[in-house]
Structure 1
Amino acid sequence: MTYCLGVLLAEGLVLASDSRSNAGVDQIASVRKLNLMPPATDRVIAIQSAGNLATSQAVVTSLHEAFGSGDGARDLRLAKTMFEVAGIVGARLREVVAADEKFVEPYGDPNASFLVSGQILGEAPRLFQIYSAGNSIEATVRSPFLQIGETKYGKPILDRVLTASTPLNETARLVLLSFDATMRSNLSVGLPIDLLIYRGDSFSTANLVTVEDGDPYWNTLRRTYSQGLTALVSSLPPPPPAWGA
């Protein structure tokens, strides 16, 4: 299992993915699940993946190889909008699953899902979720974040606090706390976390960081948040006497 999160904001995008891949308690590996297409002056395209690792890697690797090739069906360099990019990723996913499904199913689920996001010159940043069937939905102002993988533990804090107008840096904190909540409740999600803070119209991925075990900011954030929650719970009013508490 994994956890990938994408947030669409007025200022840009915040993306994060963990790196844990496991096929049992004794087969744990670290695999990058936030992939960037080759740099270009007029576009930034990020693909986050969850599900069957062989399927997701086949999709992403083939799209890397096709980038700039002129292949109209697969070349993300030719896409005029992020909606077209999402369609190409979904179509490639269907092709890979169709080719491998009957061979993989006796051993496990061959499906994968993706978050596809970025910006192409001439339009604002956009964020899509690609389902295992290859179809997609798009993040909006009313629903500014999308998740794939182990989603349930990290969702409550986002539902309570996050809006499309939340600043990038504040969103980055919320995203990391969403991962902290997930990691505390599910051992299949773990460090390192790849985090991209993308400011709209910059067409730069310079703000891509990897949060490793022992990172001072990560440890301070987790500790301060835990202490703050403990203090907050202690300050809440007790149950009324009529409850018998």
Structure 2
Amino acid sequence: MTYCVGLMLDKGLVFMSDTRTNSGVDNISTFRKMFSFNVEGERDITLMTAGNLATTQALISLLEERSKYHSERDPDILTVPTMFQVARLVGETLREVIGEHANTGQRADAAFNATVILGGQIKGGKPCLFMIYPEGNFIEASEDTPFFQIGETKYGRPILLRAYDAAMEFDEAVKLLLVSFDSTIKANLSVSLPLDVKTYAEGKFSPHQQLRVEPDDNYFQQISQGWGVALRTAFQELPDFKF
């Protein structure tokens, strides 16, 4: 399984993804689910993937391969002029990959399902965040819907809904996402560290910060333990129910 979150802030964008994939309790692997496409000073684009691993790897491989051979006739992720067109391109490529698998006789919406969070900025436009579905269609984040989740979303969503603030600094937003991921990891064994983290500051056209949180990371352990203590304290301070 997977858990990925893309978050819009006034200052830019924040991305976080886990790295666990498994097809059973005795078959667990680590695979990167966050990918970057960058032209220094002109664009910075991030994709995070959830779903069938073969589908998501084929999607990223196609996008990378086509970006190496620029053609005016076949625009690629490094040459299309707007983030909206990047979203269309990724959606069409995802549909193409799923369609190829579907032609073998399997149902694409079952066996080869994949979903993508896409975010970034191209010079001349503002930072954008999209959720792309297996059918190739997509929706864009807004003030009303300022973040997207894919994968195992339900356990980490409550803290995002209660604590998110668009005016957050990047370090606050990363702390919030770490709490969201800690809640998910504790509730579902199919999501786990290491976690990939990236922040993007508006107008920079290169990553603001990019790092990997390993299982032995001291700060993550502080967040995990501190959040547990804070929840127990808050629960104890609530008024008791009266029969």
Same fold (TM over 0.5): yes
Partners of 2:208 and 2:48 lie apart in 1 by 17
The equivalent residue for 2:223 is 221
CA RMSD, 1 decimal: 1.6
Partners of 1:106 and 1:239 lie apart in 2 by 50
Per-residue CA deviation, residues 115-137 of structure 1 (Å, 9 max, x unaligned), is 01111011111100000111000
The equivalent residue for 1:11 is 11
Partners of 1:127 and 1:175 lie apart in 2 by 16
1:25 deviation in Å?
1.2
1:39 deviation in Å?
4.1
Share of identical aligned residues, percent?
41
SS of 2:91's partner is helix
Distance 1:60 1:104, change over 3 A: farther
The equivalent residue for 1:69 is 69
Partners of 2:188 and 2:211 lie apart in 1 by 23
1:57 aligns with 2:57: yes
The equivalent residue for 1:37 is 37
The equivalent residue for 2:101 is 100
The equivalent residue for 2:162 is 160
1:102 deviation in Å?
3.6
The equivalent residue for 1:47 is 47
1:106 deviation in Å?
7.6
1:26 deviation in Å?
1.2
Partners of 1:69 and 1:188 lie apart in 2 by 37
Partners of 2:50 and 2:105 lie apart in 1 by 16
Which residues of structure 2 form unaligned runs of 5+? none
The equivalent residue for 1:24 is 24
Q: Tell me, yes or no, if the aligned pair for 1:63 and 1:74 is still in contact at 8 Å.
A: no
SS of 1:153's partner is coil
SS of 2:174's partner is helix
Q: Tell me, yes or no, if the aligned pair for 1:118 and 1:127 is still in contact at 8 Å.
A: yes
Q: Tell me, yes or no, if the aligned pair for 2:98 and 2:113 is still in contact at 8 Å.
A: yes
Report the more deviating stretch, 171-180 or 62-71: 62-71
Q: Tell me, yes or no, if the aligned pair for 1:9 and 1:165 is still in contact at 8 Å.
A: yes
The equivalent residue for 1:191 is 193
Partners of 1:214 and 1:78 lie apart in 2 by 40
SS of 1:78's partner is coil
Report the more deviating stretch, 153-162 or 61-70: 61-70
Relative to the length of structure 2, the TM-score reads: 0.94
1:239 deviation in Å?
1.3
1:206 deviation in Å?
5.0
Q: Tell me, yes or no, if the aligned pair for 2:193 and 2:214 is still in contact at 8 Å.
A: yes
Partners of 2:112 and 2:105 lie apart in 1 by 6
Q: Tell me, yes or no, if the aligned pair for 1:74 and 1:92 is still in contact at 8 Å.
A: no
